Each structure stands twice: as structure tokens, then as C-alpha cells.
Structure 1
Amino acid sequence: MKRQLLALVTVVVAWFASVNLAHAETYEFKADVDYTVLKAPIKAAEAKGPYLLEYFWLGCPHCRAMNPMVKQFESANPKVSVVRRPGLGNDRWVFDAHVYYALQAMGKSSLVYDLMDYYHQLASEEQRLPDLADVKAYMTKQGIDAQKFEKAMDDDATLDKLSVAYRDQQALGLKGVPVFIVNGKYQLRFDGFAGVKDPAARFTALVEYLLKQK
């Protein structure tokens, strides 16, 4: 997984550096090559129609590198819900999962991209990730009540969402992020992204292909 993601990140960076030179490509997608059909579907009750589910971590550089692709897809496909669930692993990941669900509870999910940039900035400039004081200061700058935010991090709704995320993560056998799942049935694989001229177009084409599958 890590080797595939590193290769994909390299491709993504190269693509954004030469986006004006990209040419249209045609794709043929195959099960067990471009995607995996899940034995047990992963439901997303919050999605009212077709959806793309992403497991991620706020401090993940691979997830951050994928953000432009996800944003581009989301903008071009307003009828498809993009649902995010934080990966749960060590204590750091659990803390950041609380942060994400509190952000969601405050109705500020759209700030996730900016928040990931903030995590990246601290990691690059200070070689650390934000603690609770940093997070509360960030929220205050965004016009969010820091005390209400901290309370939301540990309320019952957040704990329920964490429980669902963990249950489905265990069912998936998830060992790393990002992971993308279409309509709860098809998990994207990154093997076929190496060497493509336009990885964002391939990403969109693969998701749209899987959305059409019955």
C-alpha cells in the first residue's frame, strides 16, 4: 500500500506541474486490477444517493496530495456525496479523528482541506503535529467557538461516529490511508496510476465507472 501511494503522490505532483500539457486518455478498468469488489459493503447512512467514501488522516501527506483530485471530482459531480471517515490507529490518529468529527459537528466540514494544510505547515516548519491548544487556536481564527469545539470532540455523537468508523475499518482490514470506496462496494486500487499523463482524469473516470456498476 505505501509503495503504491508513494508512486501515486509522485504522479500527482508531476501532473499538477504540467497540467496544461495533459492529453485525453481512454481507460479500461478491471476488477482486482483497478478496483476490488468488497465482500461486505460499507454503508454510509449520511449519503442520500451515490457516494465516494474516503478513509483518511488529517496528518497524512498522501491524503493531502490526493485532495486536489477529490476536490476536482466533487466540483464536477455535485450529485455524488463525498463522505469522509478518519482512520483509527494509534493515539495520535484517534485524537485527530475527534478533531475531524468535531469540525463536522460544527458544520465546518469544508475546512478539512485548510486544516490538513495547517497540519502540514506545522509538520514542515516545527516538525510536530498540532496539540489541543493549537487546534483550539486554529478554530478561533476560523470564527469557531473553541470551547464548544472542544466539547464536541468528546460528545456522544462523536463517539458514535468513531464507533462506526472503527467497526467498518476492522471489516475492511484497513492498514493505511487514503482508501477510497465507491457506493460502499468497490475499493479503488492505485496500481494503474503509475505512468498515466493525467491521474486526476483517471481517478474521476474510475470513480464514475464504478458508480455505474450495479
Structure 2
Amino acid sequence: MTRWIKSLLLAVGLVAATVAQADIKEGTEYKLMAQPVPVQVPGKIEVIEFFWYGCPHCFHVEPYVEQWAAKLPSDVNFIRYHVVWQGRSDIEAHAKIFIALNQMGIAGKYQQAVFNAIQRDGVELRREDTLYDWVKKQGIDVNKFKAAYTSFSASAEVGKLGQLVDTYHIDGVPTFIVDGKFVTAPSMVGKEDGTVLTVIDQLIAKERAAKKPAAAAATGETKKKK
């Protein structure tokens, strides 16, 4: 009886997974980009997360994103961008933290720590004295961080982030772009948990399946030329 129940539960799980795959609908869990954007690394499936450290919705989703990102297959290129909206100096101050950490190559390592400081602990990281004190407490080289944070290139990066927001038409966060073609967000799936990442995984699978025939055709053409 126990073995039969286990088999039944396994079958139910497989059916549920199939249903979940079938349930994903354009216009509901995701939508198409009006104008597709080329990926940064050809041959890889790209996933971009647009976020803001000051966004509570981003804060709720981020732990799930951290777990998901740690297990990504090698054919997926995951990129994070902090949003910058014109006229929002409060957002720009947070974006500069991301830019400085990114220039130091440690943005991913301290992603959750920055969120926790702002959203959970109420630390005002938009004040430079408070920010530098917090950076020091994290064990980050303060002088290197200051140099990156106050650099001319950091100001230029703020402008680039604003351009990316315009390119991808980001009007809310968190928002995810899959392979420059698909847009999804917790606001679309109605939950601030790992549900949106399930949708992303299905879109990745969709793109992976679409790329196989193209790759096979290209290989065939190469063999013919030889």
C-alpha cells in the first residue's frame, strides 16, 4: 500500500508539473517584448532582473532569486540591473551603491545584505556617512568603495542604467526579461515568492527548445560546406 501511495503521489506530481507547464499563458504570466533586444552573450539564454533596493516587493522576491541563481545551468546568463528613473534622485542614490559594488565585483555577494539593511533594518544608505560606516561593518574595503562610489564612471553608469530602463520599457519592479523577448514579474503572477521564477524556468525551457533546431540546422550547413 505504501509503495502504491508513493507511486500515486509521484504521478500526481508529474501531472501537476505538466499542468503548470500548460498553464503559462502569454498576456497572463508573461508578455512579449514589443521590440526584442539582442542578448549580451550570443548562444546563451539571458535572464535580466530589474530591481530597486528601496522596493519592498523586490525585497520579498530576492531570497528566492538568490536560491534560483545559485543553481542556474551553464547555458543561462543571469544579469542584475538596478533601475534608474528620471527625476528620482532617491533611486539614483541606491543605484550608485549597486554600481560601486558591481565595479568592485562583489554586487552579487552583498545583494541581500544591502536589501536587509534598507528594508529590514531601516539603515539610511543614501547618507554617505551612514553608507560608509555600513560598508566598513560588512568588511568591505571602504577606500575602494568610496573611490568607486564617487567616480566619474559611476555617474556615467547611472545614465546607462536609465537608458536600459528606457530600452526595456521598465515601469515597475521587480521585472524580469528572458532572452530579450519575454517579460514577466511577480505582479503578473500575483505572488511575491518563487512563482515568477517557475515562469522564468518555463520560458528558458521554451527558448532552449527553440534553439535546438536552429543549432542542428547550422551544424548541418557546416558539414555540407566541408
**Shorter-chain TM band:** 0.7 to 0.9
> Which residue type is aligned with residue 107 of structure 1?
G
- Counterpart of 2:121 in structure 1 is 122
Aligned pairs for 1:138-149 (under 5 A) are 138-149=134-145
Matching residue's letter, 1:67 = E
Deviates more, 1:30-39 or 1:202-211: 202-211
- Mapping 1:13-32, distance limit 5 Å: 25=17, 26-28=20-22, 29-32=24-27
Gaps of 5+ in 2: 1-12, 212-226
Q: How many residues align?
A: 189
The reply to whether residue 183 of structure 1 matches residue 182 of structure 2 is no
Rate the CA distance shift 1:192–1:143 in 2: closer, same or farther, 3 A.
closer
| Contact residue 63 and residue 112 of structure 2 kept, 8 A | no
Displaced runs of 4+ in structure 1, greater than 6 A? none
Over 3 Å counting, the alpha-carbon distance change for 1:157 and 1:130 in structure 2 is: closer
Give the Cα separation in 2 of the matches to 1:91 and 1:169.
15
After superposition, the CA RMSD in angstroms is: 3.0
- Please name the residue that 1:17 is paired with: none
Computing the radius of gyration from Cα coordinates, the structure with the larger value is: 2
Instruction: Compute the TM-score of the two structures, normalised by the length of structure 1.
Output: 0.74
- Normalising by structure 2, report the TM-score: 0.70
Equivalent-residue separation in structure 2 for 1:163 and 1:198 (angstroms): 31
Say whether the 8 Å CA contact 2:51–2:58 is kept in structure 1: yes
CA distance in 2, matches of 1:178, 1:198: 13
Structure 1 170/200 Cα, relative in aligned 2: closer, same or farther at 3 Å? Answer: closer
Aligned-pair CA distance for 1:43? 4.7
The answer for unaligned runs of 5 or more in structure 1 is 1-22
Higher alpha-carbon deviation: 203-212 or 182-191? 203-212
Structure 1 position 104 matched with structure 2 position 102: yes
Deviation at 1:193, TM superposition (A): 2.9
Greater relative contact order (CA < 8 Å, ≥ 6 in sequence): 1
Classify the secondary structure of the residue corresponding to 2:121.
Answer: helix
Identity %: 22
Shift of 1:113: 1.0
Mapping of residues 20-169 of structure 1, within 5 Å: 25=17, 26-28=20-22, 29-43=24-38, 45=40, 49-79=44-74, 80-89=76-85, 90-109=88-107, 110-123=109-122, 130-169=126-165
1:65, CA displacement in angstroms? 0.8
Look up the SS of the partner of 2:105 in the other structure. coil
